[in-house]
């Protein structure tokens, strides 16, 4: 139904922006603020750190690795992947496909090893895996943060909806196949780990898969760190590929500086947003506190996941007649919304640490920039947009105006004057903000037509 890129940002913008001119865009803006500055760079950096840990592990063995070397390797990984994504979308896609295949091979090896160990009766650690665990209902949320972080790529494809072929069919199909497949693989891998490693071994190990390989594969143990390195590289590439799109989409909607909506003139990749993303990820990696961010900002991420589920419910009410290629049963977003509320509230009640307050204050601090630069900035901003010939322009009165869409490059507008200049094969349009629209009139002078519309707000789409 919503074919814009940006995932949660696009859904929040679509659902809440029409409800109120001033307050409606705030949820999507705060999501972009938090996601661009912390959530996406942190995920990018954590995945690169996983790559680095397994890359240096064979050289250090059981002696433990040097944190400085790991951070340097992680940063090199970040810059290499950013170069790939900045150079070509096609190259990034091919890299993703190749490393996904390698990842599945690694997963298959670990699962097969676990099946073999189970067949030999190695179930001791499985039988005792849940001993001495807490029964605190609130503490489950903190445990879920670490577990669900591993699944955080479940929504990556939604960030590049505009770049998909036939997204109405392929997007829900990919999600319905991919998420169950990943869930089954992760569960079987953890069962495999517990066939040879106790929970204490898992907690003490810096590279769990390598520790498993030392026991199960013997002389062939080098296969595991190599496979995990390839897997982590592919995951890092996927995070970079989609993470930069959030900044790109938010910038073109007027919620971030316009420069972040630019694309490379020949490669057609969002170069400015990719550069900023890799710089932020490297800062978090070098700061040394990147893993601590998982707990303290996971509850922020789940706040926005819950808000996204709420946006789906809102759209069912406000746009109930809009065509939906696939209609999710309403009980699904309701359940996810309730789970999200639990994951946000429970840790604060159980352990009200000051860090949660810091994370919350950081998220809402975006309002400091929203008011002067977005809310009032849009009222004085002029948009000059060049449209190729042959474009059909449709304009109509509506309760709210969100965007002018040119192919896949929209720009934010307010109340408008529309000037259409037809000269030979060229059609150009100049959109200017104007709060004082006069009465409707049409003047024809040769090839120039001047149209002024009187309307509380005008919604213009360029198809």
Task: Tell whether 279 is covered by a domain.
Answer: yes
Task: Tell whether 377 is covered by a domain.
Answer: no
Assess whether 302 and 439 both reside in one domain.
no
Assess whether 343 and 432 both reside in one domain.
no
Q: How far apart are CA 32 and CA 249, in angstroms?
A: 9
Residue 454 pLDDT more than 70? no
Reported as a single tens digit per residue, the pLDDT across 40-75 is 888 888 889 888 888 887 777 666 667 888 899 999
Q: Mean pLDDT over residues 409-424, rounded?
A: 32
Assign 78 a pLDDT band (cuts: 50, 70, 90).
very high
Task: Tell whether 372 is covered by a domain.
Answer: no
CA 405 to chain centroid, in Å, comes to 22
Residue pointed to by tokens 């998909």: 164
- Partners of 94 in the β-ladder: none
Structural domain boundaries enclosing 142: 8-364
Contact of 359 with 296, CB cutoff 8 Å: yes
Assess whether 340 and 388 both reside in one domain.
no
Q: How far apart are CA 76 and CA 120, in angstroms?
A: 42
Long-range contacts, stretch 161-164, CB < 8 angstroms, 24+ apart: 161/2, 161/3, 161/4, 161/5, 161/6, 161/7, 161/10, 162/3, 162/4, 162/5, 162/408, 163/5, 163/89
* pLDDT score at 47: 86
Spell out the residues 6+ positions from residue 158 whose beta carbon is closer than 8 angstroms to its own.
Answer: 6, 7, 8, 10, 171
Across 215-234, b (16+ Cβ under 10 Å) vs e yields ebbeeebeebbbbbbbbbbb
Residue pointed to by tokens 């705060």: 30
Assess whether 255 and 345 both reside in one domain.
yes
Residue 26 pLDDT more than 50? yes
Q: How many domains does the chain have?
A: 2
Assign 417 a pLDDT band (cuts: 50, 70, 90).
very low
The two tokens of residue 279 are 């710089």
Query: pLDDT averaged over the chain?
Result: 75
Contact of 81 with 236, CB cutoff 8 Å: yes
Reported as a single tens digit per residue, the pLDDT across 393-414 is 443 333 333 333 333 333 333 3
Task: Tell whether 369 is covered by a domain.
Answer: no
For 263, which DSSP code? -
Reported as a single tens digit per residue, the pLDDT across 249-286 is 888 888 888 888 888 888 888 888 899 999 999 998 88
Taking each continuous run of H as one helix and of E as one strand, the counts in the chain are: 17, 7
Burial class (CB in 10 A: 0-12, 13-18, 19+), 389: exposed
Assess whether 122 and 185 both reside in one domain.
yes
Percentage with pLDDT > 70 across the chain: 77
Centre a 10 Å sphere on the Cβ of residue 55 and count the other Cβ atoms it contains: 22
The two tokens of residue 328 are 């999710």
Task: Tell whether 58 is covered by a domain.
Answer: yes
Domain-ending residue, one of 333, 364, 395: 364
Task: Tell whether 1 is covered by a domain.
Answer: no
Reported as a single tens digit per residue, the pLDDT across 214-245 is 888 876 677 877 888 888 898 889 888 887 78
Domain-ending residue, one of 364, 398, 424: 364
Q: What is the CATH number of the domain that holds 95?
A: 1.20.1740.10
Long-range contacts, stretch 401-409, CB < 8 angstroms, 24+ apart: 401/457, 401/458, 401/459, 401/460, 402/13, 402/17, 402/18, 402/253, 402/459, 403/253, 403/461, 404/431, 404/460, 404/461, 404/462, 405/461, 405/462, 405/463, 406/462, 408/5, 408/162, 409/252, 409/261
- Partners of 427 in the β-ladder: 387, 422
Assess whether 409 and 346 both reside in one domain.
no
Residue pointed to by tokens 């400015």: 272
Assess whether 93 and 135 both reside in one domain.
yes
Assess whether 289 and 212 both reside in one domain.
yes
Assess whether 297 and 417 both reside in one domain.
no
* pLDDT score at 420: 31
The two tokens of residue 333 are 């977003």
Q: Mean pLDDT over residues 157-168, rounded?
A: 84
Residue 370 pLDDT more than 70? yes
Q: How far apart are CA 211 and CA 312, in angstroms?
A: 43
Secondary structure percentages of the chain, helix, strand, coil, to 5: 65, 10, 25
The two tokens of residue 176 are 């319905």
Domain-ending residue, one of 303, 336, 364: 364
Assess whether 71 and 220 both reside in one domain.
yes
* pLDDT score at 262: 86
Task: Tell whether 399 is covered by a domain.
Answer: yes
Q: What are the distances in angstroms from CA 134 to CA 130, 131, 139, 385?
A: 9, 9, 8, 59
Identify the CA nearest to 453 among candidates 432, 439, 435, 434: 439
Assess whether 395 and 306 both reside in one domain.
no
Task: Tell whether 140 is covered by a domain.
Answer: yes
Query: Following DSSP, what letter does each residue of 18-49 receive, concatenated?
Result: GG-TTTTTHHHHHHHHHIIIIIHHHHHHHHHH
Assess whether 322 and 358 both reside in one domain.
yes
């Amino acid at each position: 139904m919503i074919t814009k890129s940006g995932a949660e940002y696009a859904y929040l913008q679509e659902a809440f922006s029409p409800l109120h001119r001033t307050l409606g865009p705030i949820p999507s803006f705060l999501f972009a603020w938090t996601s661009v500055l912390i959530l996406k760079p942190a995920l990018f950096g954590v995945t690169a750190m996983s790559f680095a840990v397994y890359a240096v592990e064979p050289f250090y063995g059981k002696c433990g690795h040097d944190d400085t070397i790991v951070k340097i390797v992680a940063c090199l990984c970040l810059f290499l992947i950013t170069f790939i994504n900045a150079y070509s979308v096609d190259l990034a896609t091919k890299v993703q496909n190749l490393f996904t295949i390698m990842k599945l091979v690694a997963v298959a090896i670990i699962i097969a090893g676990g099946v073999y160990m189970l067949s030999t009766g190695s179930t001791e650690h499985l039988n005792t895996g849940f001993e001495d665990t807490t029964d605190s209902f609130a503490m489950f949320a903190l445990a879920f943060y670490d577990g669900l972080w591993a699944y955080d790529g479940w929504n990556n494809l939604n960030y590049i909806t505009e770049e998909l072929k036939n997204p109405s069919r392929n997007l829900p199909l990919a999600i319905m196949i991919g998420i169950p497949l990943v869930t089954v693989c992760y569960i079987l891998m953890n069962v495999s780990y517990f066939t040879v490693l106790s929970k204490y071994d898992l907690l003490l190990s810096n590279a769990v898969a390598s520790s498993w390989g030392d026991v199960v594969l013997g002389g062939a143990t080098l296969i595991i760190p190599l496979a995990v390195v390839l897997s982590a590289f592919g995951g890092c590439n996927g995070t970079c590929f989609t993470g930069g799109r959030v900044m790109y989409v938010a910038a073109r909607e007027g919620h971030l500086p316009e420069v972040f909506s630019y694309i490379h003139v020949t490669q057609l990749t969002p170069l400015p947003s990719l550069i900023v993303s890799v710089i932020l990820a490297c800062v978090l990696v070098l700061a040394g506190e990147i893993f601590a961010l998982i707990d303290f900002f996971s509850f922020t991420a789940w706040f926005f996941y819950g808000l996204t589920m709420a946006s789906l419910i809102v759209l069912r009410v406000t746009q109930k007649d809009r065509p939906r290629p696939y209609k999710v049963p309403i009980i699904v977003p309701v359940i996810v919304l309730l789970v999200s509320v639990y994951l946000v509230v429970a840790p604060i009640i159980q352990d009200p640490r000051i860090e949660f307050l810091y994370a919350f204050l950081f998220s809402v601090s975006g309002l400091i920039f929203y008011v002067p630069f977005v809310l009032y900035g849009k009222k004085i901003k002029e948009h000059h947009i060049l449209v190729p010939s042959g474009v059909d322009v449709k304009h109509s009165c509506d309760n709210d105006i969100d965007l002018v869409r040119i192919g896949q490059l929209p720009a934010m507008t307010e109340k408008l004057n529309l000037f259409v200049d037809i000269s030979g094969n060229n059609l150009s349009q100049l959109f200017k903000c104007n709060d004082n629209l006069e009465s409707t009139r049409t003047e024809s002078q040769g090839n120039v037509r001047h149209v002024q519309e009187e309307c509380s707000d005008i919604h213009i789409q360029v198809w």
